[in-house]
A and B are shown apart, each in its own frame.
Chain A
Amino acid sequence: MVTAHVRYALALALTSACCVMAVVAAVAWSDDQVGLATPALFTIDELDRLDLGSEALDDQMRWSAEIVNGDRRMTEADRAARFAPPFAESLTAASFNAEIDALNAELGEARFVRIIDVEDQIVAFLAATDAGPALTIAFELDDDGRFTFWAGVDSTTGARLPGWASGLALAAAWTATAASVAAWWASARRQAWVLLALAIAATSLVLVLAPSTVLYALGRTVPFVAIPLATWLLLSPARSAVRRHAAVWSWVAAAGFGAATFALDPRAIGHPSLPALADEGSATLRATLALAAICTAVAFSVVVAEHGRLLRPHADRTVGWSRPARAAAAVVATLGIVVAIVTAIDVVDGDAQFAGDVGRGAALVLLCAIPPVALFRAVSARWDRPELAGLVIELEAGAASLDHAVSAAIGGPVAVLRSPDGKLLVDSAGEVVDPESLGAGVELVRVQSDGALVGALTCPTDATERRRLEAIAAAVGLALRIELLHEQVAEQLAEVRASRARIVEASDAARRQIERNLHDGAQQRLVGLGMLLQAARRRSSRTADDELTALLDTATDEVRTSIAEIRSVSRGAPPPLLTERGLSAAVGALAERAPIPVDIAAPAQRLPDRVETTAFYVVAEGLTNVAKHSHASNAAVSIVRDDGYAVVRIVDDGRGGARSGPGTGLEGLEDRVAALGGELIVTSGDGGTTLEATLPCG
């Protein structure tokens, strides 16, 4: 099993490789300006034997060879001495060609190309080896028959790849570019990134190893499509207007760079002898470069600004671009702006060569930035899904506003609709939303959970790629379902609480009724009966009927026992005293019956009946436990009314060990307290037991 770490490492390696390729390609692209790519790796020993019929010319050739070989560095003095005319010797095309032919014959192969006379120039291609770059030496013949000597190396003709391979790479680059356009069109952003990275890699291959200038030139055209597309992708998901502007800017920039590059370096599109489209100092060229640079700066500034805004909607969020990525983007944007300024200055006063260098430098940075960004976007989309992860984290943490969280994840204004009944969609204001009435450019994404419609998202059409949208919808579905379940549970809980309270009240009322019936009915009758028996006994004792008197005494005793039994039925129930004199009096009566001294602190004012009854039960149970189990020597009861709550506390200094559990009096008490919406806490330890009930009492 490949772990995420290994996959991450692979992605990093791939990205780095692409980056290196891109740098090499970019350098190769601007070789003749920067000169870094000139691989002066061949030795032209043959030049020593070259006899052009002129000591000075031969010397010049040998010197050129040394320069080309890197054995010697060219100084300003050299430039003045070597490149300055005149070479007084007369050399015609014919005599030069004769020399070349002789040399080739001597070497046994056609290593040197003959002189081509183009207008006033004589150009010689000295193809030194099959694989290496060619030394180009040009002699300019002036009116006086003198030669001006030019030497240079063109690496582009030093093919490392066979033509078919290079062609294949070029085809791959263009195919990948086209496919990335298609993928982007189909909202498959991740695939577009991968294809784009592939295109850049293939392009790099062509630029470095192309066997011909034609292939090379064609390779250079790929970035002109790839750069704007990358810009577009970077901006997705962004507001469409911003994305459109940035893409237009970057396309203009790419076109400007293209035009300027070709103008400066005609050999890039084919033959070295082609003339420049514009004079190096021409205003048109400079303006083109300036425009391109400014467009680049604008495009990248927009990219950075948009990402800064879109991916980091909250300053404290760690979701979105990492700090290094944002820093890199900022550097690129700044570079673009600097280039724009430099170029703008250059347009007013400067030489086009410098402007060209700066322009190419900016393009180079662009080109280098794309592959790593592309790959990391792809990788992070696959393994991190940072926005999605951020959404899930926000939802889990209980996002204050679902709309806000989802908007941040999608990157566009999103409204979350809810469907309490699984049919109608309702917005946050509670208004029913008709899906048909949504405006153009707004898409309705239905959110389902467990097969039932729970809501929907309205978001800008094409705000993000389809699969991501589905993932976000799924996350929102979970959140909405949880929300729905919460509401249902809360409703049911309230229902259950109310019903529990009703049950407790009903049972209390029933108990009171039974007790009243017993006391006012049966007990009264028994008392009356006892009285009659006593009356009868008195008479019998007067008539000295001892047997009858004894009988009546027994009957009276039975009556008394019955009365006591009836009285015991109501033991533990709130006495009439509670309703008549209040909680304080009733608790006082409870304390009187306790086997140990009980301090009482209770408010004289009355509380709601339900609260008084429950509080009474709490104190009764608490004091019963104190009497039965605690071995305490002191106890205290306090009832405090505090901010809408009555807090009933029974404290003893006994040995603790009180615990609520099934079948205990405390469990029943907990139910009773909970039925009122209150809470019962038992704290029991070595220092005694505290029973505390908090009862809401409006």
Chain B
Amino acid sequence: MFMIAIPRQILGTGGIAIGGKMLFSLPVLSKDPLALFMLPPGALLTMALLHGLFRRMRIENHE
């Protein structure tokens, strides 16, 4: 859940905010965030990308 939530918040809002306080923001994304990641299907996309990334890492480790 944590691993899905972090990229979703960074890509969807352009930074990380805790309790209304912005911890950091990315220059381009904070102006034009990728709203897709804040929608329900954004969770599925993040999950798919993480799954693919982990599999890629596993394949590289085997090689």
**Chain A bound to chain B:** no
Q: Footprint of B on A, CB under 8 Å?
A: none
